[in-house]
C-alpha cells in the first residue's frame, strides 16, 4: 500500500510484519532459531556516510545484501525528526524514499524529537515543545514526510527526561492531536513511556487513555538502566519484568498493531551476548503470539504511581525559542539557569551528550586519545574534552566531531612528544577513509613500538629509534558501491 495514511481504515490494510529487531551487522551475525524473527528494522542513516563535500553516499550493494535477507523490512529513520521547527532536509527525504522503496517497507517511522537548531546540532534527540505552536510545526513536518515519501508515516513516542511543564500539553494529548490532525500512525515506544512514568511524567495508563489506540501500528520495546535516580532509555539488554507485564495488559487494546520490535544498541551486544538477545527475542515472540490474550499484572509487576513534578517555567515558549534554550542548556552553552527544578534533568542530557561525543572521538582517534589518557591521566584528559565541548558544538556525524577535535588540539598545541605525530597519522587515516586517496605520513621516529603498545592500552617501554620513516595509508579494499541520489 502506498500513499499517506488518510484514515484509520487504511491502517487496518497494512500487512502484519510480526516480531522484529533493529538491524546492525552484529545482529545479522547472530544465529537466530528459524522462525523466531519476522522482520528487520533498518535505520538507513547508520549505514551511510558523507564524503568530503558533505554529500550523502549510500552503500547500494550493502542495502541490496540486506534486501536479500529472508525477512520483512521496515524503515526506521533517524535523520528527519519531526518534533522541531526545522523541516526535513532534502537529502534525508531522498534517502528515506529510496530505502522504503528498495525494502518495500509498508510504512516508515520517524522520531517525535528534534536534534538541531538554526545555529548548531545538539548531538542528541531532544523533546519537542508541546504547545499549540509546537504542534503546528510538528504537523507541518509530518505532512512533508507523508507527501515526499509516499508511504504511511508512523511517529515514535519519545523519551523525555525533563519534568513536565504546566504550560504544555500532556504527552498523550500532544501525540493524540498530532495523530488526529495528520492521520499518521503511531509507533508506541512502550519503553520510552515506561521511562517517562518512572521519571515523573505522565503515567502510561493516562497516556494511553488520551491517544487514538487504533492508530498504533507498531510497538518498540527495550531494556533500560538507572542513572542518578532516573530510568534511562539505554537499549541495554533485558526487558524489565514490570514493563513486560504492562505490555501484556496493553496489547489486547491495540487492534491495528502490525509489529513489535526489540531495540538494543550495538555496543551492548558483545556485553550481553547472543544467548541473551535470543532469549529476549523469544520473550518478544511470546508477547506477539499472546497479544490478544487479556492479562492482569500481579503486585510485584506493577509500576509505582507517577509523582508529577511541575517545573516552574510557567509561560508558553515560542517553538524556536524553546529549542534554542534547551539545546544551549544540554550542550553547556547557557549562561542562565532555569531553576533547580529542572537543572538536575539538564545534567542528565549533558551527561548523555558528552558520553556520546567522547565515544565518537575515541572511536576514530583511538591511538591519540589513548596516548593522552595514559600520559595526562583521566582527569586532565576529561578537562581537555570539557574545554573542547565548550568551544565546539556537537556534530551529528562522527568524522565531523573527530575533525573538530583535531582542529582544537592543533590550535592548543599541547607539548606532548607524540601527540602531533599520532594525530597527523589518524587524521590522514580518516581523510583516506572519506576520499579513498592514498596518503603517506612521515615520522621522525619509528612509530611501531608506540602503535603496538597503544593498541594494547599501554605506553611503550622503549621509544622507537630516530630516523626517517613513512607509513603508507591505502584505501580499504572493499567492494562497497557508493550511490549518490540526485534530486
Contact (Cβ atoms closer than 8 angstroms) between residue 468 and residue 479: no
Alpha-carbon torsion (7, 189, 19, 251), positive or negative: negative
Three-state DSSP class for 309? Answer: coil
How far is it, in rounded angstroms, from Cα 351 to Cα 333?
A: 14
Each residue's pLDDT expressed in tens, for the chain with a length of 487 residues: 444 455 778 888 999 999 999 999 999 999 999 999 999 999 999 999 888 788 999 999 999 999 999 999 999 999 999 999 999 999 999 999 999 999 999 999 999 999 999 888 998 899 999 999 999 999 999 999 999 999 999 999 999 999 888 889 999 999 999 999 999 999 999 999 999 999 989 999 999 999 999 999 999 999 988 887 888 988 888 999 999 999 999 999 999 999 999 999 887 888 889 999 999 999 999 999 999 999 887 776 666 654 444 444 445 688 988 898 889 888 877 656 555 557 788 888 888 888 889 988 998 999 999 999 999 998 999 999 999 998 999 988 888 899 999 999 999 999 899 999 999 999 999 988 888 889 999 999 999 999 999 999 899 999 999 999 999 998 875 566 777 887 6
| Residue 455, C-beta contacts closer than 8 angstroms, at least 6 positions apart | 367
Listed in order, the ranges of the chain carrying CATH 3.20.20.150 are 8-301
| Residue 387, C-beta contacts closer than 8 angstroms, at least 6 positions apart | none
How far is it, in rounded angstroms, from Cα 51 to Cα 369?
A: 24
CA nearest to 45, candidates 95, 89, 100, 10: 95
How far is it, in rounded angstroms, from Cα 363 to Cα 369?
A: 9
**Pairing outcome for strands 121-126 and 216-222:** unpaired
CB-based contacts of 385-391 (< 8 A; 24+ apart in sequence):
385/354, 385/357, 385/358, 385/361, 389/331, 389/332, 389/354, 389/357, 390/332, 390/333
Contact (Cβ atoms closer than 8 angstroms) between residue 83 and residue 111: yes
Residue 130 has, within 13 A of its CA and on its CB side, a CA count of 23
Contact (Cβ atoms closer than 8 angstroms) between residue 485 and residue 449: no
Domain 8-301: which CATH number of 1.10.3720.10, 3.40.50.300, 3.30.9.100, 3.20.20.150: 3.20.20.150
> What's the whole-model pTM score?
0.86
* Residue that the C-alpha cell 510545526 belongs to: 137
Amino acid at each position: 500500500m502506498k500513499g499517506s495514511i488518510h484514515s484509520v481504515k487504511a491502517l487496518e490494510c497494512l500487512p502484519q510484519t510480526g516480531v522484529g529487531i533493529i538491524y546492525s551487522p552484529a545482529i545479522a551475525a547472530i544465529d537466530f532459531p528459524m522462525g523466531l524473527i519476522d522482520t528487520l528494522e533498518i535505520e538507513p542513516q547508520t549505514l551511510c556516510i558523507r564524503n568530503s563535500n558533505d554529500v550523502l553516499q549510500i552503500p547500494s550493494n550493502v542495502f541490496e545484501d540486506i534486501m536479500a535477507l529472508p525477512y520483512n523490512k521496515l524503515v526506521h529513520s533517524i535523520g528527519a525528526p519531526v518534533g522541531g521547527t526545522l523541516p526535513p532536509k532534502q537529502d534525508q527525504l531522498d534517502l528515506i524514499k529510496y530505502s522504503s522503496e528498495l525494502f518495500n517497507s509498508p510504512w516508515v517511522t520517524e522520531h517525535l524529537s528534534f536534534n538541531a537548531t538554526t545555529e548548531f546540532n545538539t548531538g542528541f534527540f531532544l523533546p519537542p515543545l508541546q504547545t499549540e505552536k509546537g504542534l503546528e510545526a510538528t504537523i507541518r513536518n509530518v505532512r512533508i514526510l507523508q507527501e515526499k515519501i509516499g508511504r504511511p508515516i508512523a511517529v515514535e513516542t519519545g523519551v523525555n527526561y525533563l519534568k513536565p511543564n504546566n504550560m504544555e500539553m500532556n504527552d498523550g494529548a500532544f501525540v493524540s492531536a498530532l495523530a488526529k490532525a495528520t492521520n499518521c500512525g503511531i509507533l508506541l515506544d512502550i519503553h520510552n513511556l515506561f521511562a517517562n512514568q518512572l521519571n515523573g511524567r505522565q503515567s502510561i495508563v493516562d497516556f494511553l487513555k488520551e491517544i487514538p489506540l487504533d492508530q498504533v501500528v507498531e510497538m518498540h520495546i527495550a531494556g533500560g538502566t538507572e542513572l542518578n535516580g532516573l530510568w534511562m532509555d539505554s537499549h541495554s539488554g533485558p526487558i524489565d519484568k514490570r514493563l513486560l507485564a504492562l505490555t501484556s495488559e496493553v496489547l489486547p487494546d491495540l487492534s491495528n498493531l502490525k509489529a513489535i520490535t526489540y531495540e538494543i544498541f550495538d555496543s551492548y551486544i558483545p556485553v550481553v551476548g547472543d544467548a541473551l538477545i535470543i532469549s529476549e527475542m523469544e520473550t518478544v515472540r511470546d508477547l506477539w503470539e499472546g497479544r490478544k490474550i487479556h492479562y492482569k499484572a500481579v503486585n510485584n509487576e506493577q509500576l509505582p504511581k507517577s509523582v508529577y513534578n511541575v517545573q516552574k517555567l510557567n509561560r508558553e515558549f515560542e517553538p524556536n525559542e524553546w529549542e534554542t534554550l534547551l539545546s544551549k542548556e544540554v550542550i553547556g552553552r547557557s549562561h542562565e539557569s532555569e531553576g533547580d527544578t529542572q537543572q538536575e534533568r539538564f545534567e542528565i542530557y549533558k551527561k548523555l551528550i558528552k558520553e556520546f561525543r567522547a565515544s565518537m572521538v575515541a572511536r576514530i582517534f583511538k591511538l591519540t586519545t589513548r596516548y593522552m589518557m595514559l600520559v595526562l591521566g583521566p582527569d586532565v584528559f576529561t578537562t581537555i574534552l570539557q574545554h573542547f565541548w565548550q568551544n565546539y558544538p556537537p556534530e551529528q556525524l562522527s568524522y565531523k566531531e573527530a575533525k573538530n577535535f583535531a582542529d582544537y588540539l592543533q590550535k592548543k598545541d599541547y607539548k606532548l612528544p607524540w601527540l602531533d605525530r599520532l594525530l597527523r597519522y589518524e587524521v590522514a587515516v580518516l581523510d583516506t577513509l572519506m576520499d579513498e586517496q592514498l596518503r603517506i605520513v612521515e615520522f621522525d621516529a619509528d612509530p611501531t613500538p608506540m602503535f603496538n603498545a597503544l593498541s594494547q592500552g599501554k605506553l611503550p617501554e622503549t621509544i622507537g629509534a630516530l630516523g626517517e620513516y613513512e607509513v603508507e595509508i591505502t584505501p580499504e579494499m572493499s567492494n562497497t558501491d557508493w550511490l549518490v541520489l540526485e534530486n
